[in-house]
A and B are shown apart, each in its own frame.
Chain A
Amino acid sequence: GQQVMQIPQYQHVQEGEDFTTYCNSSTTLSNIQWYKQRPGGHPVFLIQLVKSGEVKKQKRLTFQFGEAKKNSSLHITATQTTDVGTYFCAGTYNTDKLIFGTGTRLQVFP
């Protein structure tokens, strides 16, 4: 079946360092969405990418969608303690099913 894998599973960084999580699908995605889930919270939508090669920025966050629409990345510049949480990518494959990735848990040390 369709699977979306993310690496790394965990990442610990010092505040001010950069962070990147990568998302990979075995088959071509229709679109990719990114969510952030704080400990004890629910997923919160961050962004959606639809076009091949698309790049979007939100302040310190940069999102990319691969040319083949099989991979995506989220890069955070100069992490802050407020960035702590688990980041999930989630993709669709020409259906109404949203398939979540395995997630990357980010811990930021002050």
Chain B
Amino acid sequence: DAGVTQSPTHLIKTRGQHVTLRCSPISGHKSVSWYQQVLGQGPQFIFQYYEKEERGRGNFPDRFSARQFPNYSSELNVNALLLGDSALYLCASSLNGGNQPQHFGDGTRLSIL
């Protein structure tokens, strides 16, 4: 079975632009979470979705938004990009969210120039 897949793998944007990152969970997993990992730090929780509903939100500005589709895939959108948004964006899936173990994808490396 395929693991969590994310696209694109790398992305270069300039300040002020908008970006959409995509994630497909493991088959059968209904929950998707998004994390931001800056080099040398631990992943920071951004959102968790379960059955298309937002179940958790981290301390990120409103420029960050996400949604989950009926097939359980998900998109993370970031508007008005700042230099500080440069990071590895990780998607993780789990069966039902909550406290369950997270299965991570390889991430999208976003660079802001």
Contacts and interface: CB of A to CB of B under 8 A. Distances in A.
Interface of A: 1, 30-31, 33, 35, 41-45, 48, 88, 90, 92, 95-103
Contacts of B98: 92, 96
B46 to A, nearest CB: 10
A92 B102 CA distance: 12
A103 B102 contact: no
A7 B99 CA distance: 24
B68 interface: no
A61 to B, nearest CB: 15
Contacts of B42: 88, 90, 100-103
B26 to A, nearest CB: 12
Given A1-B59, A42-B90, A98 B103 contact: no
A47 to B, nearest CB: 9
A8 to B, nearest CB: 14
A100 B97 CA distance: 16
A48 B90 CA distance: 20
Nearest to A96: B56
A96 B97 contact: yes
Contacts of A44: 104
B5 to A, nearest CB: 12
Nearest to A41: B106
B14 to A, nearest CB: 25
Nearest to A32: B99
B12 to A, nearest CB: 18
